[in-house]
Amino acid sequence: MVLHHAGAVPTGEQLFQQARAQFGISFDPEAHPVQRRLLLRFDASGDDYKTQIEQGLAAARQHSHQREIGFFLWMLGYNRFFSGEFKQAIPILEEAIALFKNLGENFYRAESLHWLGVCHRFLGQFEAARAYAKQIRELSQRTGNQFALARILGSTGIYEVYAGNDTQAKSDLQEAITIRDELGYEAGVAISLAGLGLAAFFQGDFSRARMLVEDSLSRATESNSLFPKATALNMLGWLAVVEEDYDEAWHLCQAGLSVSQNPNILLLAQLGLAMAACGLENYPSAREYLGAWLKSGKPLHTPRGFLSCLPTLAILHASQDESERAVALFALAFTHPQSPTGWITQWSLLQRWQSELELNLGPERYAAAWKRGTKLDLETVISDVAVS
């Protein structure tokens, strides 16, 4: 059995799946608990996988094996998250948390709390997500679970980037990097570096963003870690957009999608592809990807996230000769107090569109449309687009 080619480091998942194929091991609800856990450990989505988890859960309930019940509840909630069924995952994870608390099982309690908080974040329930993050921090610090502590710091740090809380974001991400570095967890360091790169991008510091993201990509590639690798590829795609290398931006975001279908990756890729498509004047594709972004999960659906999609939306209106609406959307993107103008003001395509719109409308109509745009309500604008 060939494990890997020269220069590549196989993941635990790859090694396990090779061993599984070599020895012909298949899932059996009545198998030893350790075997069941190993067989379910490395996948997260799909109806077949869900069926296997449910079979394992039924067997655990039949034998009144409380730890196994908790394990399968956690895995089922995890599965529902990666299948995009966030509401369905919540009661499952809540049951798992209650069970683990009664058992004094703090590791899986922290795991379940983590995914519960993430589900709430994807549903736009940010205060609930923050409350669960606080619980994880306290539990992890009390039990010495450095892995869980670093993960919640990294997770909340990236969210705070989107929320516009840059000071808190950088503090959390730097602390996460320090802990993960001490643990030797290169994939985790790569994820948090990408988060810092995103913060630098929003602030318009593209050279720092590139340095951080390229470091992230290098670490992710070396450790063969798919999620941070996909994140870094998409972030490089965003950087290529503002550099107006739209073919490269399209290629990088498509590459990110091919590496991972994690919901967070989909969000990064969809917005990146929408922006790149605008630069390529492929407006049907831009409309498709922006629509998918607006109708998907919610971690990026913060004021900073929404404002980042407005320039693309404005271009789409301009391309359909809806000039006054386009100007109003540009105005909202450029003047909203929470707007990440650091990068928006440096995307030259937007300046060219504004000049063309002013030429088409004339100075007075352009100024009137801009003034109307500064008074628009962001949530109303996005709601109208999302349901149309």
pLDDT at 302: 78
The pTM (predicted TM-score) of the whole model is: 0.80
- Residue 89's alpha-carbon distances to 57, 95, 103, 323, in angstroms, are 15, 10, 21, 43
Residue 46 above 60 pLDDT? Answer: no
pLDDT at 55: 85
Q: Strands, DSSP E only, in the chain?
A: none
Residue 8 — very low, low, confident or very high, per pLDDT cuts 50/70/90? very low
pLDDT at 244: 97
Percent of the chain having pLDDT more than 90? 64
pLDDT at 96: 97
Residue 50 — very low, low, confident or very high, per pLDDT cuts 50/70/90? confident
Residue 5 — very low, low, confident or very high, per pLDDT cuts 50/70/90? very low
Name which of 211, 278, 270 is nearest 242 in CA terms. Answer: 278
Q: Where are the domains of the chain?
A: 268-388
Q: Among all chains, which residue has been given the structure tokens 């570096």?
A: 193
Mean of the per-residue pLDDT values for the chain?
Answer: 87
Tokens of 82: 């990666």
Q: What is the dihedral of CA 348, 349, 351, 353, to 10 degrees?
A: 170
Task: Tell me if 373 sits within 8 A of 331, measured CB to CB.
Answer: yes
* Helix and strand element counts for the chain (H, E): 21, 0
Residue 186 — very low, low, confident or very high, per pLDDT cuts 50/70/90? very high
Residue 318 above 50 pLDDT? Answer: yes
Q: Kindly report the number of other CB atoms within 10 A of residue 26's CB atom.
A: 8
Alpha-carbon gap, residue 51 to 13, rounded angstroms: 20
Give the residue with greater pLDDT, 382 vs 337. Answer: 337
pLDDT, tens only, 298-307: 546 678 888 9
Residue 31 — very low, low, confident or very high, per pLDDT cuts 50/70/90? low
CA-atom Rg of the chain in angstroms: 23
Alpha-carbon gap, residue 269 to 300, rounded angstroms: 12
Terminal Cα distance for the chain, rounded: 53
Residue 166 above 70 pLDDT? Answer: yes
**Contacts (Cβ under 8 Å, ≥6 apart) of 291:** none
Task: Tell me if 305 sits within 8 A of 333, measured CB to CB.
Answer: no
pLDDT at 300: 60
Q: Among all chains, which residue has been given the structure tokens 């998918």?
A: 292
pLDDT, tens only, 55-99: 888 888 988 889 999 999 999 998 898 888 899 999 999 999 999
**Contacts (Cβ under 8 Å, ≥6 apart) of 274:** 285, 286, 287, 289, 290, 293, 309, 312
Instruction: Specify the DSSP class assigned to residue 41.
Output: T
Task: Tell me if 306 sits within 8 A of 333, measured CB to CB.
Answer: no
Name which of 249, 309, 317 is nearest 277 in CA terms. Answer: 249
Task: Tell me if 146 sits within 8 A of 127, measured CB to CB.
Answer: no
Alpha-carbon gap, residue 28 to 6, rounded angstroms: 35
- Residue 10's alpha-carbon distances to 109, 116, 187, 222, 262, in angstroms, are 29, 30, 13, 10, 20
pLDDT, tens only, 274-305: 999 999 999 999 999 998 888 775 546 678 88
Please give the average per-residue pLDDT across 251-277, as a whole number: 89
Tokens of 328: 């109003």
